[in-house]
Amino acid sequence: MRKILTQTGLVGDACSEQPRTWGLALAEGAAVFLAAVNTAGDVFSKLEQGVCTLYDHLARFGEFQDVLAVAAGSQPSAVQPWGWHPLVETEALRAGLLVVYRFGRIPLHDHPGAHGAQRVIAGRVRIQQFEEQPRSKPSGSLRSLKLAVDRELAEGGTASFAPGKRNIHGLETVWPRAVLLTATALPHREGERAWYYPVPLRPPDRSSILVNRVCRRPSVDHLKAKRGWDSTPAFFKE
Ligand SMILES: [Fe+2]
């Protein structure tokens, strides 16, 4: 037996077998995910393997199925256009179930300085991931973003990001609503996040978009007023 995961505040006795308790499953799954951040090799595949291991550890437990049932049956509210059902929230790691509702979307936003990964548990979701153009000079709130990933994820599908790499992303349900397990290492603190809204200006090339970077969190009314989307790259057009 050995003690694990003191850096997350989740401490347990680890065994070589599958974790036997919910607390151990959380601790060991979180440890595997955090280890991926500092492991050499393809950081994206490591993070995605990490979130899948976290899922495998948790899904057998009634505690997880209870949270999943609540998430799957939840409704959007005026202050929360998407659902968030936390499983772990420490300074080192934030993990939980994200719900993107039917016809819903989460506009482009960043995760400054963080590593993260998502695994689709139910539904289908479209994810677009961008990076700031390395040589673009910010002009006020205007930024140039380069499209890095644009794909549809079905159940079991994964996506990930790292600091400065695919770190700005947006999600939209394909059918009917999507529930994702998401894990973020060294998550941002409140007030550090920004949102990015495409503007109708000609981008520098076809794989880029120009956006306004704002710190205002979008409301349900704001998203409803801006409903309807065009093809890429105006997918998250304001
Ligand atoms: Fe995100």
d(CA 140, ligand 1 centre) in Å: 23
Q: How many C-beta atoms surround the C-beta of residue 29 within 10 A?
A: 29
Tens digits of residue pLDDT in 186-208: 876 667 889 998 888 887 777 88
Do 99 and 207 belong to one domain?
yes
pLDDT tens digits for range 144-184: 999 999 999 999 999 999 999 999 999 999 888 999 999 99
Rounded Cα–Cα distance for residues 215 and 196 (Å) = 9
107-114 average pLDDT score: 92
CB 219 within 8 A of CB 81: yes
**16 Cα–ligand 1 center, Å:** 33
pLDDT confidence band for 34 (50 / 70 / 90): very high
pLDDT at residue 136, rounded to an integer: 66
Domain span at 155: 79-225
How far, in Å, from the CA of 193 to the mean position of ligand 1? 10
Comparing 13-17, 47-51, 88-92, the range with the smallest average pLDDT is 13-17
pLDDT at 30: 92
Torsions phi, psi of 180, nearest 5? -125, 140
Ligand 1 mean position, distance from CA 108 (Å): 8
pLDDT higher than threshold 80 for residue 6: no
User: Does 131 lie in the same domain as 53?
Assistant: no
The answer to whether 70 touches 48, Cβ cutoff 8 Å, is no
107 contacts 100 by C-beta, under 8 angstroms? no
Together in a domain, 99 and 53:
no
Is 12 in the same domain as 84?
Answer: no
Give the distance (Å) from ligand 1 centre to CA of residue 204. Answer: 25
Q: What is the pLDDT of residue 238?
A: 32
Mean pLDDT score across all residues of the chain: 82
Residues 53 and 97 in one domain: no
Same domain, 44 and 100: no
**Bridging pattern class, strands 142-153 and 83-89:** unpaired
Question: Does residue 110 contact residue 161 with C-beta atoms inside 8 Å?
Answer: no
CA of 17 to the centre of ligand 1 (A): 32
The first and second tokens of residue 159, run together, are 């996506």
Span from the CA of 82 to the centroid of ligand 1 (angstroms): 11
Q: Looking at the structure, do residues 87 and 16 belong to the same domain, yes or no?
A: no
How far is Cα 177 from Cα 113, in angstroms, rounded to an integer? 29
98 and 11 together in one domain: no
Instruction: Give, for 142, the enclosing helix (H) or strand (E).
Output: strand 142-153
| Residue 234 CA, ligand 1 centroid: distance in Å | 18
Q: How many domains does the chain have?
A: 2
Contacts of the segment 38-42: beta carbons below 8 A, 24+ positions apart: none
Record the pTM.
0.82
